Amino acid sequence: MAEGEPRGAAEVSAALGRHLSRLQEPGRETRLRALKAIAAELQERPVLPEAALLDPYPEVKREACRCAAACARALPEHFHMQSESLIKPLMQTISHQHFRVRVAVIQATGAVIQFGNGKSVDDVLSHLTQRLFDEIPQVRHEVTTVIGEWLLHLRDRYSYFHKLIPVLLGSFTDEMPENRKLALSYWKRVGSQWEKENEDDLKDKLDFSVAPSHYPEGVVRPELGCRELVTRNLSKILPGLCHDMTDWVEGTRIKSSQLLYILLLHAEDHITQHMELLLRTLYRVCSDEESNVVRNCVKAAKLIGTFVSPKVSLTLILSALKKTPMSAHLMILASVIRGSTRQVLEPHLADLANTLSQTEISQRSEEVLYVEQLLGCVQALIECCQEDCKDISLQLMKVLVTIMAIPRLEHLHEKVEETMSSLAEVQHLNGFLDLYKQHIVQLMEWVSLSHDNWTCYSPELLQLDIIATHSGPVIGKVLPDFILILKTCLQPTKDPQMRLKLFTILSQVLERANETINSEGQFLSYLEIVIKDMLAPNLHWHAGRTAAAIRTTAISCLWALIYSEMLSPKEVHQVEDALMTQVIATMDEDSKISRLTACRIVNSFLSVCGKEFGPDKLNTIYPEILKRLDDVSHDVRLAAAETLTSWFKCIGDGDGKSVLKSNIEFLYRELLIHLDDPDQNIQQAVLEVLKEGSDLCPDLLVEEIEVVVHKHRTPVYCNQLLQHIQSRRK
């Protein structure tokens, strides 16, 4: 018996020797029985074959783990001498395919380190952390148990708090409720134990600590010991955690982002000293493709708003935003705002709103994510600050108008309208139209600052479109400013694409003139400017497709003006007198829309004031209309027929009839040709024209009919016309 061995140790050693020799047998059952015998014999001497842990038979591995754990607990004062030799084979086995083996290894590891050499924590911790991602709940349960026991009972636990705490807190978000409950239970015990062990240091906090006035809703505040543990170790935990949040493995990023939220919840206002690292990490991670990671980062950013003074957090975020505006900056800013309170944000509202409304930020990008986050910042301010937003309402309206004006983002229009309505509601207004009414003068000043230098690429052009078409009747209150912009920008020397856009805007508001541009009844006082300075110069013929497109939009705008029915006969005559020649010329355009619109406009002129036309004017009009009966477009031909009907109505029984007799005869002859058109709709339309014109020279028309009736495909329409003439004579 060796010196210093306890009584009976020699016998134990001899028995172990016999059983150890049997571990070399090829039969796995033999090896298993030998290992069980070793466990039974092992009472005093910590001798355990490492090879058994690497045995290919899973049951042998599990029995070896039980032996190791039993040995560690039985002889802790001697076990530390051999514990390190077991770490390597245990870690080689910890990822075994059988989950029961993995559970046994984790249990053995916990005992081996707790009762052996605690310095081996560094060697096993990464392996245990990986087991938090294990798909088997029992495995994760054992990891939580082992880490919790170490935090409570490991001799050098104070040295390893910063390494063990993140692992235990990582189980707070386990998918299994049992595991989450276990982790929380251990964490409370750890915090309570540490609190008792450091009671003297925490005396003031225990006696005078006051709960924060603002705390996340529905969240239970951790106990003081737990908060202090995190606070004192946060500087050691955060750098590694921030690195893991950008790991290439998706699961690691998700787990790390969940842990960040838990840590910040414990750290509270101590977050402040780590703001630069936190924000730098959050900016980077907010662009992650995994939505869960982004969601967790947003939750963490809300805690920054809850616990960190806006003087610190907003200064850092706004500085980064002004330097390089990115969607991540806006996302974090919106979250910080949502986490704050109305009272603490109030002194910073002006700076926030002015920054967001800066051109460099609000117009920085048309990327969907960027614009959505910009809108999110406005929504966050309205939700958080409520009535205080009255002082920054104009700046927020500028941002919302800018968002709505961005092309290809129509899907956001509904959200922007809802946000405008929310902004109006917190100011006790009746809706977003009242919001426009409140700011329309400033908005027009803002958008028109550089209108003399606009091009088709100017964002102000799109913003004017939104203000003019979205503000409804409110645009009528700033009609002088609106007309001035149009007059300046619709000159023929200005950018053609820009003029196209402006005519489109003008057409839109003219379609509902009394509900928009003429809501104050002042539009007609600017009619002469619209005719002479906007429409007339742009209806002149110029070569090129762009010039033709401009003429099309201009003629469409003129039709919208006439069709709006806000013009009196006198004013229609004023328009006709100024533009009839150019409208007639437009009937020869390549564009079907131009020809069709021109026919409709001439028809309106003839219907309203045609009876005041002299023979000479009527004589110049009808040949161009007659040409349109041969148009390639069915719609244009029908419009031309309707216009000729109006033309016939303009000829009275006086001198005009006798002067135009030869013209009427020519018209009869041409119309009878079209009465035999292959298209029945055209035949019917021409028949109506001839019926209207038959009252002028019925005998002449009968003669012309008799000449051509036998040439027609069918005499039906000629006979109907003759019957009509006969009936009118009775």
Boundaries of every domain in the chain: 15-197, 430-585
Question: Under the phi-then-psi rule, with left for phi > 0, alpha for psi from -120 to 50, and beta for the rest, what region is 468?
Answer: alpha
Q: What residue has token string 């939104």?
A: 466
Residue 12, pLDDT score = 39
Report the residue count for the chain. 730
First to last CA, the chain: 150
Calpha distance 579→51 (Å, rounded): 104
Amino acid at 16: L
* HEC sequence for 243-274: HHCCCCCHHHHHHHHHHHHHHHHHHHHHHHHH
Is it the case that residue 48 has pLDDT exceeding 80? Answer: no
Q: Which has more pLDDT, 203 or 483?
A: 483
What is the residue-wise DSSP string for 4-42?
TPPTTHHHHHHHHHHHHHHTT-S-HHHHHHHHHHHHHH-
What are the tens digits of pLDDT across the range 110-139?
Answer: 888 888 777 888 888 999 999 999 999 999
Is it the case that residue 481 has pLDDT exceeding 90? Answer: yes
Could you tell me if 91 and 128 are in contact, meaning their C-beta atoms sit under 8 angstroms apart? no
Segment among 141-150, 249-258, 403-412, 649-658 with least mean pLDDT = 649-658
Residue partners of 647: CB distance under 8 A and separation at least 6? 606, 610, 618, 621, 622, 625
Calpha distance 431→126 (Å, rounded): 58
Is it the case that residue 44 has pLDDT exceeding 60? Answer: no
Residue 2's pLDDT band, with cuts at 50, 70 and 90, is very low
Could you tell me if 526 and 483 are in contact, meaning their C-beta atoms sit under 8 angstroms apart? yes
Calpha distance 233→226 (Å, rounded): 11
Question: Would you tell me the crossing angle of helices 224-244 and 177-197 to the nearest 10 degrees?
Answer: 120
- Closest by CA to 162, choosing from 230, 243, 83, 94, is 230
Residue 613's SS3 state is coil
Calpha distance 638→644 (Å, rounded): 10
Amino acid at 712: H
Residue 16, pLDDT score = 42
Residue 57, pLDDT score = 78
Could you tell me if 329 and 320 are in contact, meaning their C-beta atoms sit under 8 angstroms apart? yes
Residue 367, pLDDT score = 92
- Closest by CA to 259, choosing from 269, 244, 275, 277, is 244
Mean pLDDT of 706-717: 84
Q: Which has more pLDDT, 616 or 441?
A: 441
Mean pLDDT of 645-666: 81
Dihedral pair phi/psi, residue 413, rounded to 5°: -60, -40
Residue 11, pLDDT score = 45
CATH number, span 15-197: 1.25.10.10
Neighbour tally for 46: CB within 10 Å: 21
* Cβ-defined contacts of 229-235 (< 8 Å, 24+): 229/161, 229/165, 229/190, 229/191, 229/194, 229/266, 230/165, 230/263, 230/266, 230/267, 231/266, 231/267, 231/268, 231/270, 232/161, 233/161, 233/162, 233/165, 234/263, 234/267, 234/270, 234/274, 235/273, 235/274
Mean pLDDT of 648-675: 83
Mean pLDDT of 289-315: 94
Q: How far is CA 676 from the centre of its chain?
A: 60
How far are the Cα atoms of 434, 518, 526, 530, 720 from residue 472, in angstroms, in the given order? 10, 10, 19, 20, 51
What are the tens digits of pLDDT across the range 5-43?
Answer: 333 334 433 444 454 455 455 656 665 665 566 555 544
Residue partners of 653: CB distance under 8 A and separation at least 6? none
Mean pLDDT of 716-724: 87
CA dihedral defined by 337, 340, 343, 345, rounded to 10 degrees? -30
Reported pTM: 0.84
**Which pair of tokens denotes residue 372?**
């959505």
Could you tell me if 606 and 632 are in contact, meaning their C-beta atoms sit under 8 angstroms apart? no
Residue 230, pLDDT score = 95
What is the residue-wise DSSP string for 558-573?
HHHHHHTT-S-HHHHH
**Which pair of tokens denotes residue 33?**
């029985």
Q: What residue has token string 């006798």?
A: 658
The conformation of residue 223, written as its DSSP 8-state character, comes to P
Segment among 373-382, 635-644, 653-662, 695-704 with least mean pLDDT = 653-662
Mean pLDDT of 703-728: 85
Neighbour tally for 414: CB within 10 Å: 9
**Which pair of tokens denotes residue 149?**
């026991």
Could you tell me if 498 and 456 are in contact, meaning their C-beta atoms sit under 8 angstroms apart? yes
**Which pair of tokens denotes residue 714?**
């069918």
Q: How far is CA 550 from the centre of its chain?
A: 35
Residue % of the chain over a pLDDT of 90: 61
Residue partners of 369: CB distance under 8 A and separation at least 6? 327
What are the tens digits of pLDDT across the range 314-366?
Answer: 999 999 999 999 999 999 999 999 999 999 999 999 999 999 999 999 999 88
* Cβ-defined contacts of 222-226 (< 8 Å, 24+): 222/187, 222/191, 222/265, 222/266, 223/188, 223/191, 223/192, 223/195, 224/191, 224/195, 225/190, 225/191, 225/192, 225/193, 225/194, 225/195, 225/198, 226/187, 226/188, 226/190, 226/191, 226/266
Neighbour tally for 469: CB within 10 Å: 15
Residue partners of 217: CB distance under 8 A and separation at least 6? none
Calpha distance 540→560 (Å, rounded): 19
Calpha distance 229→160 (Å, rounded): 12
The rounded mean pLDDT for the chain is 87
**Which pair of tokens denotes residue 306?**
């809850």
How far are the Cα atoms of 469, 642, 648, 701, 704 from residue 665, in angstroms, in the given order? 49, 19, 12, 8, 9
Could you tell me if 625 and 645 are in contact, meaning their C-beta atoms sit under 8 angstroms apart? no
**Which pair of tokens denotes residue 646?**
């109006």
What are the tens digits of pLDDT across the range 213-266?
Answer: 888 988 999 999 999 999 999 999 999 999 999 999 999 999 999 999 999 999
What are the tens digits of pLDDT across the range 571-585?
Answer: 999 999 999 999 999
Amino acid at 697: C
Residue partners of 373: CB distance under 8 A and separation at least 6? 327, 330, 331, 334
Mean pLDDT of 495-501: 93
Q: Which has more pLDDT, 78 or 469?
A: 469
Residue 7, pLDDT score = 35
What are the tens digits of pLDDT across the range 160-185?
Answer: 999 999 999 999 999 999 999 999 99
Residue 45, pLDDT score = 45
Residue 13, pLDDT score = 39
Q: Which has more pLDDT, 45 or 30?
A: 30
**Which pair of tokens denotes residue 560?**
């919208």
